Amino acid sequence: MRVIVCKDYEEMSKKAADIVAGQLAMNPKSVLGLATGSTPVGTYKELINRCKDGTISFKDVTTFNLDEYYPIKKSNSQSYDYFMNDNLFNHVDIDKANVNIPNGEAADAAEECKRYEAKIASSPQVDIQILGIGQNGHIAFNEPEEELYSETHLTGLTDNTIEANARFFEKKEDVPTTALTMGIGTIMKAKKIIILANGAAKKDAVAALLSGKITTASPATMLNCHNDVVLICDEAAYN
């Protein structure tokens, strides 16, 4: 795993945007895997600026998001659908027909997971997957468990994650307790993975990731099995 330690969040976001922009310059029809959470917001802001100044274009880009709460209405300001529109898609020249996010409104979660996995499988391979990391080492919504799932699935959220995400909701009870998420295998299919981490709250998760040990107790450690992963973090998250 390549590790880039940045002095702060801004530098981390710029570095990640540089890699994504380089990919889009190389192939305007790139496929991007995208994440939500507060971590990638700075990267998205950078990409928006570069799109506005004409350096990059999303016109022919396809995207697949990692996860979505379930059930949740797309119009809910806490849905990941809403988040992506608000933080990226509404500000760049992407064709929304090429945007893919698990559907939190689907009547049948299992069917939706099958549909989403098949859609990814039928698309050209994801060129770059952007990931954040949970305090407990989760990636997407693959939470620490005895067994991890390979494909897109419906999952329960741990208390730690509900607690961590409660800051976005009015009260903790409003945080959905289940979600649809790409599995570890789905994520690992990407050609390149950029994992972002900032702030002291991510220190333990980053330490586990860099320990070289692989354990389902910290799902991000599975990334040690991938041959092109870049961890971009700030000093506070780095041990």
Residues that bind ligand GLP (CB under 6 A): 35-39, 66-67, 132-134, 140-141, 161, 165
Report residue 135 CA to chain centroid gap.
14
Task: Tell me the C-alpha distance between 208 and 80, whole Å.
Answer: 27
Active site residue 143: yes
| Closest distance to ligand GLP from the beta carbon of 3 (Å) | 18
Please, which residue, 66 or 209, has the CB nearer to ligand GLP? Answer: 66
- Chain residue at closest Cβ approach to ligand GLP: 132
Please, which residue, 66 or 99, has the CB nearer to ligand GLP? Answer: 66
Please, which residue, 30 or 198, has the CB nearer to ligand GLP? Answer: 198
Q: How many residues does the chain have?
A: 239
Please, which residue, 9 or 58, has the CB nearer to ligand GLP? Answer: 9
Closest CA to 187 of 223, 232, 145, 146: 223
| Closest distance to ligand GLP from the beta carbon of 49 (Å) | 20
| Closest distance to ligand GLP from the beta carbon of 161 (Å) | 5
Q: Hey, what amino acid is at 225?
A: C
Task: Tell me the C-alpha distance between 196 and 220, whole Å.
Answer: 11
Of 81, 117, 143, 234, which residue is the catalytic one?
Answer: 143
The helix or strand, by DSSP H or E, that contains position 84, with its residue range, turns out to be helix 80-87
Active site residue 67: yes
Of 46, 65, 67, 103, which residue is the catalytic one?
Answer: 67
Contacts of residue 11, Cβ cutoff 8 Å, sequence gap at least 6: 234
Contacts of residue 215, Cβ cutoff 8 Å, sequence gap at least 6: 208, 221
Task: Tell me the C-alpha distance between 13 and 194, whole Å.
Answer: 11
Active site residue 138: yes
| Closest distance to ligand GLP from the beta carbon of 208 (Å) | 15
Give the alpha-carbon dihedral of 235, 202, 17, 94, to 10 degrees: -160
| Closest distance to ligand GLP from the beta carbon of 69 (Å) | 9
Strand, coil or helix: 212 = coil
Please, which residue, 57 or 236, has the CB nearer to ligand GLP? Answer: 236
Contact at 8 Å (CB) between 36 and 83? yes
Task: Tell me the C-alpha distance between 234 and 46, whole Å.
Answer: 17
Catalytic residues: 67, 136, 138, 143
